[in-house]
Structure 1
């Protein structure tokens, strides 16, 4: 959409026309010391709390208080299979089949569990390809996997790097890397939406390319889940992981999600770390049986689920299901497009957006370089009531999340930036 208009009246009109505007009232919006709502554009780091979350968690606290251990079987939401309450809605959100997803562990832990199964180095094929500016935890994880298997963590990494003077990655360069090094690469592991630039990668293109050269392919979707159309099943990726505390609004440090493509669902020979929750449900409590792995992504579980965290995830997923992700994506593209329009009106001599322009190549995040500015600009924005985040050396990341952000939020943020710059 290119027919945006300047002025506060237009922003307010768009909020009036927005069929999802009422969902903002279902979230706690942080306020300043005078009780005025802050402009919260930091859902890429931590999503806001749905007002229903407390009710969902309190239900489990009540069942624990009143039932004790019997909450596992007789609670309103029996704990024994609580993770299954999340499966259907999670699968829809990430574009997967129910057998392909599970909620468990933390993000980097899940990445390690996936690499235990899908990074299978040999003498000839042992390298890992990642983007050069991968999220640090991803880089540390793959380096440690290389060391664990006895390889040098610098020589074993192949980096997909932007061209000089550019921030975004080009697929032609990935193709060249795989043509040159494909026979040495065991795993391609890419951050699905780059945390710094906001570039959303073409999963199917990358997966097809990696598989063509005999590599396993996985994605860290921390900045993608609940933000973009991941379409994981159709991408053909071998695995993916994501956190739920960013765009999925499940609370700080909440559990991670995991995807394993259904073609691996019944392969009991895959190397994996196991625990009693990956064992056949029918005989799990017989205790003395030999291990019998569950099919699908559930077969990578280790432990019984942490219920309070899952209750917070359920609260958020129920909101997503009620709204419908297609409607959220439609609003997200319009809202971020409007944000881009306002920022560009500041002039190319002032700001530069390094996130891709095409709406299908980004989510709601825009990464803004303000020319000749340093972190003091971000500090002043914060003091003016804008919650965003700063990434060295010179980028302010802002993410208008369609579930709770408004067109007025975006307008006021740009006006505050304009005032500070002037």
Structure 2
């Protein structure tokens, strides 16, 4: 094997990186040798922003000093706290502030949205999803089918790659939608597949779904904070995402919801209601009869989770200061391409090590999934022993996510050097 480490190349790329300083705004765990690890697991749990502690401490101080009056007084009164996240959340996903709300956690929000946007009839009842979707999505859809006394095996249609391929073709997705036609009620696909790292053409999928009269939504757990999204312009009906991966808002962090503005003034839509989604003009009169707020906020159930929202707000502010998703995406493409170049530069046969993430930057985020056909777990442990934190997925995939806010080109170079050493020593 021939391999040329590129520390000077990595150093030059880091010197020229306009986002390099943002790395200093995160706590990077130490590796076994005491120096900062190379953390490539942001697609599972993002690192802690240094601003997070102060953001939560501010709300602890308000609680200590004001008690219940913190809902109405203080730096950020809790009564309207969720509203302070709307503009940045809208920028993040390409939406209008009316179309987004931050609340609950991801799968809770997915269920709330499916109550409204999966309304099966005797003839239109199918749900289309990608095969191998994250288990929460699979379980949610299965249970939603049963909620309507339907058999999940009859309801759910799974999209599978062609034989010998690892990812889906957009044309095949569109063809399946057309074939299902007026039997298709709802399309629900992950914006980025967690396992392969494939980013789907959400605009094309939405057009195809609407052409047959279906509603179209996306689980953006692996897309929000990773891809440039334009949910409003793509005409997506609904979406939800978590904040603890690329949005660095802490384990189990709060979730975001998108509902297109065409549904903003639809109080007739079936939904599970709670008092925080009620019209605020008379919310505290405690009357019977739910009247939803306009827009996505009308899907709220309970008052805001202030502490996780405080962390999330601190993280969103970092994204905004970095120049938003356009700036992050530019660096993301560079980091991921650099990682791909180093891996392919090893010259290993695909029967030994194979990148299953699409090579086209438009079809992936900042993730490469590497299928290791031999000694995969051993390789994963080898990387960990050298301070490279990746993610293992059964049966034999290592996911590497170079996140633009805190990963450097030197981090990527460390991966290339470690891989070369492992395969040279075998």
Q: What TM-score does the superposition give when structure 2 sets the normalisation length?
A: 0.96
CA drift at 1:178? 2.2
CA drift at 1:288? 2.0
Cα separation, 2, equivalents of 1:219 and 1:178: 15
Aligned position for 2:246? 247
CA drift at 1:6? 5.6
Alpha carbons 2:219, 2:241 under 8 Å: kept: yes
Q: Does 1:370 align with 2:372?
A: yes
Moved more, 107-116 or 345-354: 345-354
Aligned position for 1:313? 312
| Cα shift readout 1:350-385 (whole Å, capped 9, x = no counterpart) | 422111111111110111123323312111211221
Give the alignment of 1:53-132 within 5 angstroms. 53-132=52-131
- Shift of the 225–57 alpha-carbon distance from structure 1 to 2, 3 Å rule, reads same
| Cα shift readout 1:74-129 (whole Å, capped 9, x = no counterpart) | 12110001011110001001111000000011111111000000001000111111
Aligned position for 2:303? 304
Q: Structure 2: which 5+ residue stretches go unaligned? A: none
CA drift at 1:33? 4.9
Aligned position for 1:415? 417
Alpha carbons 1:224, 1:363 under 8 Å: kept: yes
- Shift of the 376–33 alpha-carbon distance from structure 1 to 2, 3 Å rule, reads closer
SS at match of 2:273: coil
SS at match of 1:163: coil
CA drift at 1:392? 1.4
CA drift at 1:184? 1.4
Which of structure 1's runs of 4+ aligned residues deviate more than 4 A? none
Give the alignment of 1:179-258 within 5 angstroms. 179-258=178-257
Q: Structure 1: which 5+ residue stretches go unaligned? A: none
Number of matched residues? 418
CA drift at 1:280? 0.8
Cα separation, 2, equivalents of 1:205 and 1:142: 22
Cα separation, 2, equivalents of 1:119 and 1:217: 10
Q: What TM-score does the superposition give when structure 1 sets the normalisation length?
A: 0.97
Cα separation, 2, equivalents of 1:337 and 1:60: 41
Aligned position for 1:340? 340
Aligned position for 2:395? 393
Moved more, 377-386 or 31-40: 31-40
Alpha carbons 2:32, 2:386 under 8 Å: kept: no
SS at match of 1:36: coil
SS at match of 2:129: strand
Q: Alpha carbon RMSD of aligned pairs, Å?
A: 1.2
* Match 2:383 to one of 370, 381, 384: 381
